[in-house]
Structure 1
């Protein structure tokens, strides 16, 4: 079969939403169990590190943008949506190889972030906010005290997922508006880390850099493999 025939085969001409449906159905049990175990394991280590810092946490400094972004109770919805958002990338993996790559890179992000949290504990400032005026955020502050601030793994996972899903959506030739929704969702999650006062701008920058490094490393590995083929 020549390359032209391959590109026009029925498998590559199905509608994008059907292609996504096929991807979700592929290895769905493995994806469901793996994602659940991965997130649960991450939370267990995350909160242990937060409550058992190796030294006194450093308070992260504020920037002008931190003062400019207002507190928003509604941002809690976007903030919490991360854990559904990040499950989409493994769910849309087309095969074992892509699923393994997703899991490996997510583990790299988590491992690097947790190592920094342990070696260099950080926390957000004690903001002069009456949290009783923000019921959703008051609950968040009770559950997550604002430690493990730098780098923001909320941001790192959101950026990583956005990059990976952009690639997956392009592979199935999803329309531009779907790809834009993906990017807007990720941006909303990044914004929510500031609006909920769970992170400051420097944390956001650190999380973005961490995700960028992992994505760059993956792209470099793939280029080397193609060059050797």
Structure 2
């Protein structure tokens, strides 16, 4: 960061970055989500191998069914749109897109070779129309790892990195992680996943975010060595 950027409030820096490459960000994010859902639903309805039902743990029994968590669950699709919105160059956008695509592809490959499902819950879904709609749209398959958790954690780590780059205050960083944790919690509270799925999703998300950020930092260092005047 140069001296001018340090003197500019973090929210003005963010506001200045968001409109850059607006068409690429909006079209790219929409296209990516559409392609992901196409592949996800295909594997959901046509698994290549017999499905393994995931085990119930003590944590699953402790966290009761909470239909009020549905908005948090759905908010993932807003949350995952924030990191690319805060990137300023095409190079950063392409790199981020490839990292997210690789992360989701890893999860989809696991679903293909090891299809899994959440155990049936003794709940009358008709009493909860919103959750019932979710269940009909996104059945209990493709459970482990939870890509809902994976993409939330991946986005959360990247958001933390970008917000710190802008110099965002602590309360914003905490709010980011509270939102991320809320999404993770919602996967259990809506009975879309069990704790084992969540743990696997956490591992995949953290690993993918770490590797992508490490690669990005290494690329920045190489670029500065090749172009020291920049």
Alignment of 1:163-182 (within 5 A): 163-182=157-176
SS class of match (1:206)? helix
- Matched residue pairs, number? 223
TM-fit CA distance, 1:223: 5.1
Given the alignment, which residue of 74, 81, 97 partners 1:80?
A: 74
CA-to-aligned-CA distance 1:2-44 (integer Å, 9 cap, x gap): xxxx732x24421111111111011111000000000001001
Alignment RMSD (CA, Å)? 1.4
Q: Partners in 2 of 1:116 and 1:90 — Cα distance? A: 26
Query: C-alpha deviations, 1:178-220, integer Å up to 9, x for none?
Result: 1111100000000000001000011001111111111222243
Q: Distance in 1 between matches of 2:181 and 2:188?
A: 11
Name 2:142's counterpart in structure 1. 148
Structure 1 unaligned blocks of 5 or more: 1-5
The answer (yes or no) to whether the contact 1:73–1:135 under 8 Å persists in 2 is no
Q: Would you say the 8 A contact 1:23–1:94 is kept in 2? A: yes
The answer to whether the 8 Å contact 2:6/2:167 transfers is no
Q: Does residue 35 of structure 2 align to residue 41 of structure 1?
A: yes
User: What's the TM-score, normalizing by structure 2?
Assistant: 0.93
Matched, 1:159 2:134: no
Cα distance 1:31–1:223, how it changes in 2: closer, same or farther (>3 A)?
closer
SS at match of 2:50: coil
Cα distance in 1 for residues equivalent to 2:200 and 2:132: 25
TM-score by length of structure 1 reads: 0.93
2:203 is matched with which residue: 201, 205, 209?
A: 209
Trace 1:68-147 onto structure 2 (pairs within 5 A): 68-147=62-141
**Tell me, which stretches of 5 or more residues in structure 2 are unaligned?**
226-230
Range moving further from structure 2, 212-221 or 22-31 = 212-221
Which residue in 1 is equivalent to 2:47? 53
Equivalents in 2 of 1:117, 1:79: separation in Å? 21
